[in-house]
Amino acid sequence: MSSVHQITVHNMRKELTTRQQELLDFLKITQSQTGVMPSTREIQAHFGFASQTAAMSHLRALEKKGVIVRLAGKARAVIFPEELEREEIVDIPLYGSIAAGMAEATEEEKEGCISIDIASLGIPRNSRTFALKVRGESMIDAHICDGDTVILEFREPRHMDIVAALIDGETTLKRFIMERGRPYLRAENADFPDLIPARELVVQGVLVGLLRSGRM
């Protein structure tokens, strides 16, 4: 039975059209780089489809050919058959904006939840994660842009981690630098200065994933 199933899947993969193969490659690359699948809106934009309905139609075609599996009731719930045993989709809270610019005071307000595959991100099952929207351009050299959403894990930071941090009462997204036993925050944009704490530096989360603007 197993060998028959393997042959069937192999034959179906041979029958992929050029566009279907391009979409499958896009799904794999996006998941590998960000830890989550692209939304139908991003698929539409990437391939120039007329609507999100057209993107869904292409996803259904891939599902019929056995190269992806769609899970009901989950956002971005597309996985590959070989990942069924390890896939763990969980909902994490999404909060308001965090400055990727000059640090500024913000109030965290929960705006809902997003679904992520924690296995793809390498996050332990019991880890605490959350998401924040990004404002500003101070992290563009790390490919984090205004409007993106970052996924963060509550844990101790390491040198060169990208973190959400509270510095002297204000919150920001920067790279965590430990130099001569003293921590400070570094932007990934030459137009922004380093942030050296005058009183306190509290890391609120460490970056583990990124959603490009438009995927939400």
- Tell me: do 110 and 167 sit in the same domain: yes
Is pTM, for the whole model, over 0.75? no
* DSSP-derived 3-state class of residue 83: helix
Q: Which is catalytic among the residues 2, 57, 138, 213?
A: 138
- Tell me: do 77 and 107 sit in the same domain: no
Within a domain: 203:
yes
**216 residues of the chain, pLDDT tens digit each:** 443 334 334 444 458 899 999 999 999 888 777 767 888 889 999 999 999 999 999 998 998 888 888 776 565 667 777 665 555 677 788 877 776 654 443 445 566 787 777 776 667 767 788 888 898 999 999 999 998 888 898 889 999 999 999 888 888 999 999 998 899 999 999 999 999 988 888 898 999 888 777 544
Q: Which is catalytic among the residues 39, 97, 120, 174?
A: 174
Looking at 83, 103, 129, the residue that finishes a domain is 83
Assess contact for 27 and 20: CB atoms under 8 A.
no
* Residue of 118, 116, 128, 92 lying closest to 204 (CA atoms): 128
Structure token digits, residue 81: 């058959």
Range of the domain at 153: 89-211
- CATH number of the domain that residue 16 is part of: 1.10.10.10
Q: What DSSP assignment string belongs to 20-64?
A: HHHHHHHHHHHHHHHSSPPPHHHHHHHHT-SSHHHHHHHHHHHHH
- Tell me: do 126 and 166 sit in the same domain: yes
- Tell me: do 102 and 198 sit in the same domain: yes
Q: Which residue has the tokens 């993107």?
A: 55
Active site residue 138: yes
Assess contact for 163 and 201: CB atoms under 8 A.
no
